Structure 1
Amino acid sequence: MQDILDIRVLAALEPISSFGPARLRELLEYCHLETVAQGLDPFKGRPLHGQSVYLVKGELEVVYADGNHVLIRADSEWARHPIGKRQPEIQAATALTRIQLLRADDDLLDQMVTWDQFAYHEDAKVPAAQEGSEAAVKRLLNSGMFSAENLSNSPFAHLPSANIGKLLNRIEVIAAWDKEIIIREGDEGDYYYLIESGRAQVARLVGGTHMVLAELKAGDVFGEEALISDSKRNATVTMKSNGVLLRLKKQDFLELMQEPLLRKTGYQEAKRKVDGGAVWLDVRHPPEYRYDKLPGAINVPLNDIRNAVGVLSKNTPYVVYCQSGRRSAAAAFILAQAGYKVDVLENGLWSIPKSEQQ
């Protein structure tokens, strides 16, 4: 099918029909179109779990667990909705003609619909006296930060829906210029930043020399460590090109993003999690780790935690700890926003007996 026809097909489906053309084209990249020959069961070996599946061409007979037989035609009202979402479990299905099915990931689709709906929700609107409120919200949602890719892989993927409207209301959009210093090492933490467009460099003063720690691009975030640990900035972030940044004030960040993503747990509960397969993750400096680590703990210092994203297994849950809980909270947020299953040991090693440490 040609691109414009694909978009028209998507636009006829629910709840996708609420999307504008740009959003439809974006979603198109994440949809899979498959063809099934006449007489075959399209769901045999291809379960519906975790997916929204639509019939977009042909005729399909579906047999439900309650014995009900339903004939679905691609041009019918039934076909506008995902197959098998509200009905009893599907026992069997048969393609009465050659059919085409469109599959989309449930979580991604739900995130996109949720963010789009909040653009028109009262929580996402500021008083009319404030210039361009509705236009500003729409601009945010159409920006790269709220693309399908970022909704899948960024902190927004794990944000409770109750916080979305407030976030859209409070987030600021600012222009940033090449060579502009956004964060200066040693300053107090004031904002959390997200790069909508442009590039930036992270550097730290080591022995009188500025050491480059990371290069940041559109979609990356920075500035959270000082806000979570309530400490001074530990690096300088400088723009390497003109760009656009989104920023959130410290208190708004702590309320809307950090608090929902961080799960704090006491030592006894943390031990039960580790006994059940979780791993202790010590984010202190290596000498501290060697001195009094917890049994079985692995060490990834806070300053290296971003480099561990993609290296640490996302199939393994982690209980993150440090001395007091401050560094571990910052590390856990970075991991949680990347999609890891993370708990923070409340009050860190200060909360447990020395006899429990190695």
Structure 2
Amino acid sequence: MTATCLPTCVRAVAGLSRTCSKRPLGAAGRLSYNERELQVRGGGQVRSTNVEKQTRIIERRVVNPGQYVFREGEPGDRAYLVQEGKVEIIKRTPNGEKLLGDVGRGGIFGEMALIDNQPRMASARAAEQTTLVVVTHEQFEKKLKDADPFIRGLLNIFVRNIRQMASRT
């Protein structure tokens, strides 16, 4: 099996260049991409002696149909990007479960908990076999730290507004 090209937002979170190179999957569900290798290839050889410092690990998770990625109310310390498959976003209601929507290839979910450190406002369940790219709190914070303070403020406002609207449904 080979890795497919990852969407731009995953490469950005992982600190990779915009160049994409298909590579075999690594052990333990991880893809090891080397930024330098993606940028500078010559006859299959990397032209850098400092390769170790530039390696980025992208954690992957495979979930089976019906398996929960996380449940409503749990603490959130990571977001997920759908590399392959589909995930349903489900909210508990007095009348049972309500399907809020689904997230397919290239979509991201679970990101709100990374922004405001609040519990998950809905559950995420695989609708089919799904491969996810994990975005850790550390990766997110590292990228957010470099963002303009205005953008960070807007993110917090957006998340607060979305949570308030969702609590009314």
Q: TM tier, shorter chain?
A: 0.5 to 0.7
Offset, 1:214: 1.0
> Any stretches of 5+ residues in structure 2 without a counterpart?
6-11, 39-52, 163-169
Could you say which residue in structure 1 is the equivalent of 2:128? 241
Q: How many residues align?
A: 127
| Distance in 1 between residues matched to 2:88 and 2:148, nearest whole Å | 27
Could you say which residue in structure 2 is the equivalent of 1:115? 18
Could you say which residue in structure 2 is the equivalent of 1:136? 32
| Distance in 1 between residues matched to 2:93 and 2:148, nearest whole Å | 31
- The answer (yes or no) to whether the contact 2:90–2:122 under 8 Å persists in 1 is yes
Question: Structure 1 residues 173, 234: closer, same or farther in 2, change over 3 A?
Answer: same
Once the two structures are aligned, what percentage of the paired residues are identical?
A: 18
Q: Which has the higher contact order (CA 8 A, sep 6+)?
A: 2
| Distance in 2 between residues matched to 1:207 and 1:188, nearest whole Å | 22
Structure number with the higher strand fraction is 2
Q: Aligned to 2:142, what secondary structure does the other structure show?
A: helix
Structure number with the higher helix fraction is 1
The TM-score with structure 1 as length reference comes to: 0.30
Amino acid at match of 1:137: Y
Q: CA RMSD in A?
A: 3.9
| Distance in 1 between residues matched to 2:66 and 2:148, nearest whole Å | 34
Question: Structure 1 residues 171, 114: closer, same or farther in 2, change over 3 A?
Answer: closer
| Distance in 1 between residues matched to 2:27 and 2:65, nearest whole Å | 28
| Distance in 2 between residues matched to 1:222 and 1:263, nearest whole Å | 23
| Distance in 2 between residues matched to 1:247 and 1:114, nearest whole Å | 18
Could you say which residue in structure 1 is the equivalent of 2:49? none
| Distance in 1 between residues matched to 2:103 and 2:67, nearest whole Å | 14
Could you say which residue in structure 2 is the equivalent of 1:67? none
Q: Which has the larger radius of gyration?
A: 1
The TM-score with structure 2 as length reference comes to: 0.60
Offset, 1:236: 0.3
Could you say which residue in structure 2 is the equivalent of 1:150? none
- Describe the superposition over 1:19-77 as per-residue Cα deviations: whole angstroms up to 9, x where unpaired: xxx98xxxxxxxxxxxxxxxxxxxxxxxxxxxxxxxxxxxxxxxxxxxxxxxxxxxxxx
> Any stretches of 5+ residues in structure 1 without a counterpart?
1-21, 24-110, 120-129, 143-164, 266-318, 335-358
Could you say which residue in structure 1 is the equivalent of 2:113? 226
Question: Structure 1 residues 237, 215: closer, same or farther in 2, change over 3 A?
Answer: same
Could you say which residue in structure 1 is the equivalent of 2:139? 252
Could you say which residue in structure 1 is the equivalent of 2:69? 182
Q: Aligned to 1:246, what secondary structure does the other structure show?
A: strand
Amino acid at match of 2:32: A
- The answer (yes or no) to whether the contact 1:185–1:235 under 8 Å persists in 2 is yes
Could you say which residue in structure 2 is the equivalent of 1:169? 56
- The answer (yes or no) to whether the contact 1:224–1:330 under 8 Å persists in 2 is no
- The answer (yes or no) to whether the contact 1:185–1:233 under 8 Å persists in 2 is yes
Offset, 1:188: 0.4
Could you say which residue in structure 1 is the equivalent of 2:42? none
Offset, 1:331: 7.0
